[in-house]
Chains A and B, each alone.
Chain A
Amino acid sequence: MGRVVGIDLGTTFSLVAYLDQGTGAPKCIVGPEGLAVCPSVVSVDPNGKIIVGDAARQRLLTQPERTIYSVKRLMGRGVSDVQSELKIFPFRIDPGSDNVIRVRLGDNTFTPPEISAYILRELKSWAEKYFGEPVDRAVITVPAYFNDAQRQATKDAGRLAGLEVLRLVNEPTAAALAYGLHKQKRGHVAVYDFGGGTFDVSTLKLISTTEGDIYQVLSTNGDTHLGGDDIDNALMDSARREIREQFGVELDHRGDETQVLRKSLIRAKHELSTADKTLIQYPLAGKGMYVREIQRAEFEELIRPIVARTMAPVKMAMADAKLRVNQIDEVVLVGGSTRIPLVRKTVGEYFERAPHCELDPDEVVALGAAVQADILESGVKTMLLLDVTPLSLGIETMGGVVAKLIPRNSTIPASAQELFTTGVDKQTAIDVHVLQGERELAKDCRSLARFQLKTPPGHAGLARIEVKFLIDANGILQVAARDLRTGEQHTLEVQPSYGISDTDIERMLEESIEHAEQDFAERQTIEARTEAETIVAATVKALADPRSREIPSEERGAITESEAKLRAAMAGSDYKLIRGNIDDLNQATAHLAEVLMNGALQTALEGKRLDDV
């Protein structure tokens, strides 16, 4: 078994974290840029190579037709669901899409779980590089308000990335966990999670028992299509309108110029969190320069309706939890968008207290996921998360009305039983339509799945089949049926309304690049060899340098010998051996590195390695 990590698969940024056994605290793992955040951007090369993260984000500007951002907005949704998004986001939906969206990137099409899987795989490789060991299991977070299809899509993504998903944890709950560890507070907590694409609010009760701490979610609400993206789009609309008026230019929302403008507007947005005003200068090819000073006050007016939209779910969550504002002990802010002063002010005013933001709002969810991952992996439980299902579960009955089986905010796992029988003589199948949502009519709720109960022909009312609906700890529905007359399990064929079927996932796993890609050890070897090449080249160069004559000949001999050992190791595929020899060569050349600097620099560069010089 490999290592376990916690992953925040975010709309804009994704992160991976683990629990440091030494300190007992969770820690984010950084990527090649030295940052914990990986932009949730994926790009496909003309030769089919997949690029994820910062490098892919660059390609948004140069090759937007091969690059996708905010794919989380497409997870678990069908083509008709995303029509309104297409006007704002440059998603290129393939006409062959139906209840699973297929996105075109360059010459290929991908489903959202496949694209998310590439992001997960990137994070997996960050972690594997850091640990020097394989990573095969993860806890992945999802917005609390994600429905069944969206959760299943996330699980599918994990599977496609070669990760066993130990648990899906709701983002606000994960944040509360990280926060609770940090602060050791008890009582009622409200978590306001305003991310790139989704908004969640949860109310929790933190309790200490003799066994350990319980984080009990009382209620959750949100909007899976409300986030920082909407603020960016509002800025974009405004800018595009002004550019049209001033220059008569209509920017194609799918083009790369739009991405360049978007990038500068996002930068401006960030600056307005600390400055009162900011300046945008955007060159329009051949037409001049769009120069615009944006005042913070003006920005706030523009986004006020978006921020206001977050307060309706907040009020509903409080009402569902039967809590008054003065009963909330702490308010925690999560998500990059909570850095905006207007957001902090609005939340603070509603809860009548200053919200907490000591923990990095970008990292806190991943940190919480890492804690939960450790609990599940080690079996040592010091805390328990009791989460809830955000949406009521029901079945469609006569007249298209929904009969609710499991109410929203029920603690999970939760279950309900329903007895089915035939309505007419000789009926051979009973159709069941499962839905999620709060509305009365099935057409206004979210279709989850349909299944058929096969019945042997007989009189109406003779069949007695009990169906058990169970929402598991991931918030995903499981259905089982039992024939009460025979006492046996009854066969079900469940058709999910959205998402990839199990058979298709299996096929994808077979076809996927994962199998063409090198396995873990091979990859480690290649990386080790690359590093070794760098240091060998640096050593050769250093020994050729005239100043190197200053070192004693025994030392020179030791360096040459170490270099030879490393070259020998590089010819093999034992990456541990290669790394060991890299360390030895570094040590052997440490003095030489010092000598090659002049005296004044020596103190400043203390501790530098040969290949840093």
Chain B
Amino acid sequence: MSISQPQTKRAEGLPVASCWNCKGAVTGAHFCAACGKIQPLPAGWDYFKFFSFPQKLNIEPAALEGQFHILSWKLHPDNFVRATEFERNLSLERSSELNDAYRTLREPISRLEYLLERLGVRKEGTTKQQAPPELLEEVFELNESLDELREAREGGGDVAGLRARLETAAANFLDKLAEVDAELAKLGREWDAAIDSGSKSAKSESLVKMNEVMNRRSYIRNLVAGVQKELAEA
């Protein structure tokens, strides 16, 4: 599989800084265009910009991987073993950023979460969970079953029967999860369209919707994880 060079894009909206080595203008690129020296990460950069991608939620996996390989080749500490300590540190900084960026952008969910965090819609580290209203009854039943299973384990009740019920419930919720993911995919396409059109209102509407669905997703996922954990112990 051979990879062709992407076209270098000018990073938009970033202050033009000067290269620490030759004082030439650098616009957030990985290397100075004039002297080729590796550059520090500019403030305000994000993972999308790192890959020279627009802030769109649909990313062609092969394109991302291709860029990842090209950038790995260029930025890896192996290239800087005999360079100055300053450059070695820059290489460490950029290649760890590259790997973090790739890890995040690779999976659709982490990609979306990252976007929401960058745009201030979602606070990093805090996952709000929202019980989907249409599922409240099932959630209630599930929690009841979990309690019963715990009691049964201690008191010697019908563990097998309760396990079976929980397994069905878990499977049910996994289906719901798949539905949620499908909805997120649709919303992702809407976001991308809003990016293309440039409509501010479309963009903010899209963000709000996606955030809400993500909250629901977190809730369901934690539910399923809890059940699986309980089942694993029985």
Interface residues of A (CB under 8 A from B): 166-167, 207-212, 214, 216, 375-377, 379, 381, 384-386, 407, 410-416, 470-473
Contacts and interface: CB of A to CB of B under 8 A. Distances in A.
B181 to A, nearest CB: 17
A547 to B, nearest CB: 59
B192 interface: no
The 10 A-B pairs of least Cβ separation, nearest first, read A415-B96, A413-B96, A411-B99, A473-B77, A376-B81, A413-B95, A211-B73, A414-B99, A209-B3, A414-B96
B97 interface: yes
A416 B2 CA distance: 32
Residue among B2, B69, B72, B102 with most chain A CB within 10 A = B69
Contacts of A214: 69, 72-73
Nearest to A214: B69
A471 B3 CA distance: 28
Contact of B70 (A209, A377, A410, A412): A209
Contacts of B97: 415
Nearest to A474: B77
29 contacts: A166-B81, A208-B2, A209-B1, A209-B2, A209-B73, A211-B73, A212-B73, A214-B72, A377-B81, A379-B81, A379-B82, A381-B78, A384-B72, A384-B73, A410-B99, A410-B100, A411-B102, A411-B103, A412-B96, A412-B99, A413-B92, A413-B95, A414-B99, A414-B100, A415-B93, A415-B100, A471-B96, A473-B76, A473-B92
B53 to A, nearest CB: 18
B127 interface: no
A207 B77 CA distance: 19
A413 B77 contact: yes
B228 interface: no
Nearest to B76: A384
A212 B93 CA distance: 23
A212 B1 CA distance: 11
B39 to A, nearest CB: 17
Interface residues of B, number: 24
Contact of A375 (B2, B69, B78): B78
Given A210-B3, A413-B95, A473-B78, 13 more contacts: A207-B69, A209-B2, A209-B3, A211-B70, A211-B73, A214-B72, A377-B81, A381-B73, A381-B79, A386-B72, A412-B99, A413-B99, A471-B96
A430 to B, nearest CB: 17
Contacts of B4: 210
Nearest to A186: B1
B80 to A, nearest CB: 9
Contacts of A472: 77, 92
Nearest to B4: A210
B126 to A, nearest CB: 13
Interface string B92-120: 11011101101100000000000000000
A167 B95 CA distance: 16
A266 to B, nearest CB: 39
A381 B100 CA distance: 24
Nearest to A386: B72
A208 B4 CA distance: 12
Interface in B22-39: none
A429 to B, nearest CB: 23
Contacts of B81: 166, 376-377, 379
Contacts of B92: 413, 470, 472-473
A567 to B, nearest CB: 45
Contacts of A381: 73, 78-79
Interface in B52-73: 69-70, 72-73
B103 A207 contact: no
Interface string B1-20: 11111000000000000000
A210 B96 contact: no
Nearest to B73: A211
Contact of B78 (A384, A407, A410): A384
Contacts of B76: 384, 386, 473
B101 to A, nearest CB: 11
Nearest to A473: B77
Contacts of B99: 410-414
B95 A376 contact: no
Nearest to A407: B103
Contacts of B69: 207, 209, 214, 216
A420 to B, nearest CB: 13
A539 to B, nearest CB: 48
Given A410-B99, A414-B96, A208 B77 contact: no
Contacts of A212: 73
B157 to A, nearest CB: 27
Nearest to B97: A415
